């Protein structure tokens, strides 16, 4: 081991002369000396530094160019689009709390609201409210006709395009048509706001707007709107309104160009039989009708 | 200001650094792969790496970085040839006084044996042996260069000498 260490030191030129003399006595010394001598005569291939530097600089130029990464707008757009879709999606999942109900022609639907208030939707009507804010504000949007049975509690508001109906706990009917708005209170007290005018309706009273003229009605004795008994009743209503209601309750198209649709109608029609309903409208007005599939044509006698 | 003069990103500084270390770097690469063209490629790649990362490399560490890069690139890319070293043309004989034909023939034979034996060493042993013999580097310097301990360098050197001795005496 000592000898090996000395050899290493000798090759590192760190061996003293005495130690070297000692080493010279070993049998391998001649070979090692030759190895030491001749290996130092070896050489690696010479490199021309200047020429290599020139080459290096050239390749540097050609190599760095493709390294420039241009801002890739397409991939940016891809990511942006993805983000928008995700954010939009999550918005609709987490923040869109609007609950909507709607009824088709000839369909009634009972909706129970989160506070157990009941809304019965008449045909071709739409009701929506915000689930999230319901606990604080009982706000509803109505397009069409519905009967409300409101549980006692916070202010209960029905928004329609024609006006605002507010109650505390009561039963009432709201009917909103083109050029026609009617609220009937069946129990409790209802406040109706129409064109910035507020009217309070006690039980049995009604509020009616026909073509802009307001009419207050009293002494209603029924406890429920007639449409809930599968009937529609009218008092001095223009025929065109009656026809519109008929089309809502039966899936039919009514052609009434041959008759005067502004004449007033008072009466009731059933929701269960088209033929009977048509008769109860046409006979008092002295007009005839013809049923062809889904189309009903009104015409005058002898017309 | 001192930092500026030592900045490798300055083209002049880099060129100086390049010229200064090119030969030793290419020798080092050659001890490893035994092909002059390939070793120059390795060296150029290593210099490119330094140029690309010039801002990140400390000037004092650049040399170590260069050799480490060559070492890593060699391990990653090159399938190396048998490393056959050549003697310098003007190589003198051990005993310059003895010019008898027998002696000269014997020495030529020894030189060939040595060449073959060196080719048989492992990469690690050969690079240590040649860095010591040709470049005249101390074991400590080699250790820093290769980023290994001095003990490891001595171990490689010792095994290299033993292997060389055995091969030369057996043939």
Closest CA to A301 of A286, A290, A291: A286
Q: How many Å lie between the alpha carbon of B75 and the closest alpha carbon of chain A?
A: 20
Confidence of residue A212 (pLDDT cuts 50, 70, 90): confident
Report whether A101 contacts A127 (CB < 8 A).
yes
Q: pLDDT tens across A240-274, in order?
A: 888 888 888 888 888 888 888 888 888 888 888 88
pLDDT digits (tens, 9 = 90+) for B2-39: 444 567 788 888 888 888 888 888 888 888 877 778 88
Residue A59 located in a structural domain: no
Q: Residues A139, A193: one domain?
A: yes
Q: Are both A250 and A285 inside the same structural domain?
A: yes
Which domain-ending residue is among A200, A227, A254? A227
**Beta pairing partners, A291:** A296
A44 touches chain B (CB under 8 A): yes
How do the domains of chain B map onto residue ranges?
2-77, 101-170
A199 with A109, same domain? yes
CB–CB contact B110 A55 (8 Å): no
Based on the domain organization, do A153 and A219 belong to the same domain?
yes
Q: Most distant CA pair in chain A: distance in Å?
A: 150
> If pLDDT is split at 50, 70 and 90, which confidence band does A117 have?
confident
Crossing angle between the packed helical segments B139-146 and B150-170, to the nearest 10 degrees: 110
Residues facing residue A85 across a β-bridge: none
Extended strands (E) in A74-224: 98-102, 109-112, 118-121, 126-130, 138-143, 145-149, 156-159, 164-167, 171-177, 180-187, 190-194, 197-201, 206-210, 213-217
Residue A159 in domain: yes
Interface contact flag, B26 A45, Cβ < 8 Å: yes
Assigned fold of B101-170: Arc Repressor Mutant, subunit A (1.10.10)
pLDDT, position B3: 45
Q: Given this model, what pLDDT does residue B82 score?
A: 65
Chain-centre distance of CA B133, in angstroms? 10
A93 inside domain? no
Query: What pLDDT score does B159 carry?
Result: 92
Contact status of A3 with chain B (Cβ, < 8 Å): no
Task: Please tell me the distance from the alpha carbon of residue A104 to that of residue A264, in angstroms, as a whole number.
Answer: 27
SS3 A287: strand
Task: Please state which of the four CATH numbers 1.25.10, 1.10.1740, 1.10.10, 1.10.3470 is assigned to the domain occupying B2-77.
Answer: 1.10.1740
Q: Total structural domains in chain A?
A: 3
Please tell me what DSSP assigns to residue B58: -
Q: What ipTM does the predicted assembly reach?
A: 0.70
CB contact under 8 A, B132 and A34: no
Cβ contacts of A4 on chain B, cutoff 8 Å: 158
* CATH number reported for the structural domain that contains residue A258 in this entry: 3.55.50.30
Band the pLDDT of B154: cuts 50, 70, 90.
very high
In terms of Cα–Cα distance, which of B44, B40, B45 is closest to B29?
Answer: B40
Q: How many CB atoms lie within 10 A of CB B56?
A: 9
Of A8, A39, A63, the CB nearest to B48: A63
In a domain, A259, yes or no: yes
- pLDDT higher than threshold 70 for residue A302: no
pLDDT above 50 (res A65): no
A115 and A133 fall within a common domain: yes
Would you give the end-to-end CA distance of chain A in angstroms? 135
CB B146 within 8 A of CB B130: no
Check pLDDT > 70 for residue A68.
no
Indicate if A142 and A117 belong to the same structural domain: yes
Residue of A nearest to B115 (CA): A39
Contact across the interface for A11 and B132, Cβ inside 8 Å: yes
**pLDDT at res. B2:** 43
Q: Select from A33, A47, A54 the residue whose CB has the most chain B CBs within 10 Å, as the one to mutate to test that interface.
A: A47
3-state secondary structure of B117: helix
CATH of the domain at A188: 2.60.120.1440
Q: Are residues A109 and A220 in the same domain?
A: yes
Report the pLDDT value the prediction gives residue A259, as an integer from 0 to 100: 83
User: What is the tens place of the pLDDT at every residue in B41-93?
Assistant: 888 888 888 888 887 888 888 888 888 888 888 877 656 566 677 776 666 77
Q: Which of B40, B85, B161 sits opposite A52 (nearest CB)?
A: B40
Q: What is the pLDDT of residues A154-191, one digit of tens each?
A: 778 888 888 788 776 677 888 888 778 888 888 778 88
In a domain, A85, yes or no: no
For residue A104, the number of C-alpha atoms closer than 13 Å in the C-beta half-sphere is: 2
pTM above 0.80, yes or no: no
A43 bridge partner residues: B86
Asked if B30's CB is within 8 angstroms of A59's CB, the reply is no
* pLDDT of A54 strictly over 60: yes
Structural domain for A12, as ranges: 2-35
Predicted confidence at residue A61, as pLDDT, reads 59
The pairing of strands A145-149 and A180-187 is unpaired
> What residues in B contact A64, CB-CB < 8 Å?
52
Give residues with Cβ within 8 angstroms of A253, minimum separation 6: A247, A294, A295, A296
Residue whose token pair is 């064109």: A195
Task: Give pairs for B65-70: CB < 8 Å, separation 24+.
Answer: B66/B21, B66/B25, B67/B25, B67/B28, B67/B145, B67/B146, B68/B147, B69/B45, B70/B25, B70/B28, B70/B29, B70/B32, B70/B42, B70/B43, B70/B46
B16, B89, B119, B161, best to mutate vs chain A, most A CBs in 10 Å: B161
Which own/partner contact pairs does B37-44 have at CB distance under 8 Å and 24+ positions apart?
B38/B78, B38/B80, B39/A45, B40/A47, B40/A52, B42/B70, B42/B73, B42/B74, B42/B77, B42/B78, B43/A47, B43/A52, B43/B70, B44/A52, B44/A55, B44/A56, B44/A59
Strand segments (E) across chain B: 86-87
Distance (Å, whole) CA A193 – CA A160: 10
Residue of A26, A27, A30, A45 to mutate for B, most B C-beta atoms under 10 A: A45
Asked if residue A132 has pLDDT above 70, the reply is yes
Determine contact: A110 vs chain B, CB below 8 A: no
Q: What pLDDT, in 10s, does the model give residues B104-126?
A: 888 888 888 888 888 888 888 88
Percent of chain A residues topping a pLDDT of 90: 1
Q: Which of A34, A36, A45 faces B110 most closely, judged by CB atoms?
A: A34
Q: pLDDT grade, residue A83 (50/70/90)?
A: very high
Q: Is the pLDDT of residue B131 over 80?
A: yes
Average pLDDT over residues A127-152: 82
pLDDT band at residue A31 under the 50/70/90 scheme:
confident
pLDDT at residue B151 in the model: 92
Strand-pairing partners, residue A287, are: A300
Is A68 part of any domain?
A: no
Task: List Cα–Cα distances, B6 to B14, B20, B38, B59, in angstroms.
Answer: 9, 14, 30, 6
């Amino acid at each position: 081991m000592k000898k090996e260490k000395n050899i290493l030191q000798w090759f590192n030129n760190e061996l003293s002369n005495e130690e070297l003399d000692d080493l010279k006595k070993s049998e391998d010394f001649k070979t090692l000396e030759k190895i030491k001598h001749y290996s130092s005569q070896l050489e690696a291939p010479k490199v021309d530094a200047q020429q290599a530097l020139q080459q290096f600089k050239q390749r540097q130029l050609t190599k760095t160019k493709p390294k420039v990464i241009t801002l890739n707008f397409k991939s940016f757009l891809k990511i942006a689009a993805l983000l928008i879709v995700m954010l939009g999606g999550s918005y609709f999942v987490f923040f869109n709390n609007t609950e909507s109900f709607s009824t088709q022609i000839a369909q009634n639907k009972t909706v129970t609201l989160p506070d157990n208030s009941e809304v019965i939707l008449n045909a071709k009507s739409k009701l929506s409210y915000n689930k999230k804010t319901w606990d604080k504000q009982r706000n509803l949007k109505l397009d069409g006709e519905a009967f409300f049975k409101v549980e006692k509690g916070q202010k209960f508001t029905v928004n329609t395009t024609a006006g605002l109906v507010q109650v505390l706990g009561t039963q009432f009917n709201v009917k909103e048509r083109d050029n026609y708005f009617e609220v009937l209170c069946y129990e409790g007290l209802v406040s109706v706001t129409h064109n910035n005018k507020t009217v309070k309706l006690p039980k049995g009273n009604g509020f009616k707007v026909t073509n802009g003229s307001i009419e207050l009605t009293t002494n209603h004795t029924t406890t429920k709107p007639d449409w809930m008994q599968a009937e529609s009743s009218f008092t001095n209503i223009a025929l065109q309104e009656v026809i519109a209601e008929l089309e809502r309750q039966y899936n039919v198209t009514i052609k009434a160009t041959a008759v005067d649709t502004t004449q007033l109608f008072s009466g009731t029609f059933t929701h269960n039989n088209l033929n009977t309903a048509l008769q109860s409208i046409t006979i008092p007005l002295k007009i005839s009708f013809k049923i062809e599939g889904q189309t009903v044509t009104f015409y005058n006698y002898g017309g | 200001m001192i930092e500026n003069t030592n900045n490798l990103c300055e083209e002049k500084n880099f060129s100086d650094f390049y010229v200064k270390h090119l030969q030793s770097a290419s020798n080092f690469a050659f001890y490893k792969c035994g092909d002059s063209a390939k070793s120059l490629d390795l060296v150029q790649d290593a210099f490119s790496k330094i140029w690309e990362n010039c801002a990140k490399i400390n000037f004092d560490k650049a040399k170590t970085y260069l050799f480490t890069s060559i070492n890593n690139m060699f391990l990653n890319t090159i399938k190396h040839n048998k490393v056959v070293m050549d003697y310098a043309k003007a190589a003198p004989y051990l005993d310059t006084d003895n010019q008898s034909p027998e002696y000269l023939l014997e020495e030529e034979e020894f030189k060939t044996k040595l060449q073959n034996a060196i080719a048989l060493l492992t990469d690690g042993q050969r690079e240590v042996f040649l860095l010591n013999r040709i470049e005249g580097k101390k074991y400590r310097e080699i250790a820093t260069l290769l980023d290994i301990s001095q003990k490891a360098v001595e171990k490689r050197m010792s095994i290299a000498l033993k292997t060389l001795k055995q091969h030369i005496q057996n043939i």
